[in-house]
Amino acid sequence: MPSDPILFSSSPFPDLPVIRPDAPVLLEIRDLHARVEAKAILKGVNLTIRAGEIHAVMGRNGSGKSTLSKVLAGHPSYTVTGGSVTYRGENLLELEPETRARAGVFLGFQYPVEIPGVSNLEFLRVSTNARRVHRGEAELDTFEFEDLVRERLQVVQMDPAFLERSVNEGFSGGEKKRNEILQMALLEPLVAILDETDSGLDIDALRIVAGGVNHLATPDTATLLITHYQRLLDAITPDYVHVMAAGRILRTGGKELALELEQRGYDWVDAELAALEGAEADRLPAEVA
Ligand code: ADP
Ligand code: MG
């Protein structure tokens, strides 16, 4: 039993206390392993995400957070070498990235790409329509889409002038992040994965982005927030906080765990990881034999 009352599990494969046991599981990640080039990055990630939940993944730089998000989105540079990911009962890993997006898996990038020459408005319209067709809804024409986008712009309090520019081209860091949330507001994903959406935001932009995320979180959708800092979690209250280290989830707790990280830093994570890896190294010879 954990001695620390605010943590409910220190196991690398925790039995999560389920907050909404009746809610459908949207995403089930089991023992996920992945590599980039020849380098193993994810080393056994386990995560169950139900409808209505907000999960935060925290961890030092280089712990594999962005890799996890990119593997879920289907980035071609990342190779899954073991484990499974099930999205609403379907094998997510065998779907093309665009199929995942159409089916409601959204990734807000840590570093959104600029696409010179592609109108932001057109880009948003085409992607929104692809998602609508997948859901059996009619495509929106230019005029209908303009009405929708103007309504959704309010979620992120963005100037309509950004629609007339190329996708993210010359946008500031904060503007790019707002544009990601605008895209999310239009696509209405079922699972939204937001990778460091708070980085590079001043306090006002952070409030707006957090407000947008809260506004879009519904009992039918789930949010996976990847963040370095507690400050985003002051504005968005997670149901679960996971600490990632060396490609796996080392510990899971409630929102208090984020505060503990803020206060204690990550040194204890390193100590726990070293102990775990030591125990694994001790086990290894027996397994080989
Ligand atoms: P985080 O988001 O937690 O900071 P990342 O998932 O970005 O961590 O990176 C995890 C590790 O994988 C880091 O050591 C990083 O250098 C490495 N890595 C990520 N992407 C690549 C890549 N394309 N090529 C080589 N190494 C990579
Ligand atoms: Mg990252």
Tell me which ligand sits closest to the C-alpha of residue 194: 2
Q: Are 63 and 245 within 8 A, CB to CB?
A: yes
Give the atom of ligand 1 at the shortest distance from the alpha carbon of 244: 3
pLDDT digit string, tens, across residues 263-282: 888 888 888 888 888 888 88
- The answer to whether the CB of 248 is under 6 A from ligand 1 is no
Is residue 134 assigned to a domain?
no
Instruction: Give 69 Cα–ligand 2 centroid separation in angstroms.
Output: 9
CATH of the domain at 39: 3.40.50.300
Is residue 118 assigned to a domain?
no
Domain that holds residue 33: 25-110+190-210+217-288
Is residue 199 assigned to a domain?
yes
Instruction: Give 52 Cα–ligand 2 centroid separation in angstroms.
Output: 24
d(CA 18, CA 206): 29
Give the atom of ligand 1 at the shortest distance from the alpha carbon of 64: 6
Is residue 116 assigned to a domain?
no
Is residue 244 assigned to a domain?
yes
Tell me which ligand sits closest to the C-alpha of residue 64: 1
- The answer to whether the CB of 69 is under 6 A from ligand 1 is no
Instruction: Give 193 Cα–ligand 1 centroid separation in angstroms.
Output: 17
- Enter the tokens of residue 59: 């961890």
Is residue 130 assigned to a domain?
no
Amino acid type, 69 = S
Which pLDDT does position 17 carry in this prediction?
A: 63
* Strands in the chain per DSSP E: 25-36, 39-50, 54-58, 78-87, 90-91, 105-108, 115-119, 166-167, 191-195, 222-226, 240-245, 248-253
- Distances 42 to 12, 34, 46 between C-alpha atoms, Å: 13, 5, 10
- The answer to whether the CB of 35 is under 6 A from ligand 1 is no
pLDDT digit string, tens, across residues 237-248: 999 999 999 999
Those residues of the chain that have pLDDT short of 70 are: 1-17, 284-289
Exposed, middle or buried by CB within 10 Å (0-12, 13-18, 19+), for 267? Answer: exposed
Give the atom of ligand 1 at the shortest distance from the alpha carbon of 78: 23
Is residue 82 assigned to a domain?
yes
Domain count, the chain: 1
- The answer to whether the CB of 111 is under 6 A from ligand 1 is no
Tell me which ligand sits closest to the C-alpha of residue 65: 1
Which pLDDT does position 173 carry in this prediction?
A: 86
Tell me which ligand sits closest to the C-alpha of residue 57: 1
In the numeric block, the tokens 């099930």 are attached to 86
For a mutational test of ligand 1's pocket, the pick from 32, 33, 35, 36, i.e. the residue with the most ligand atoms closer than 8 A to its C-beta, is 36
Is residue 164 assigned to a domain?
no
Q: Whose CA is nearest to atom 23 of ligand 1?
A: 36
Phi, psi of 3 (to 5 degrees): -80, -25
Instruction: Give 289 Cα–ligand 2 centroid separation in angstroms.
Output: 38
Instruction: Give 161 Cα–ligand 1 centroid separation in angstroms.
Output: 35
Closest CA to 81 of 43, 48, 45, 33: 33
CA dihedral 144, 146, 147, 153 (to 10 degrees): 140
Which pLDDT does position 289 carry in this prediction?
A: 42
For a mutational test of ligand 1's pocket, the pick from 32, 35, 41, i.e. the residue with the most ligand atoms closer than 8 A to its C-beta, is 41
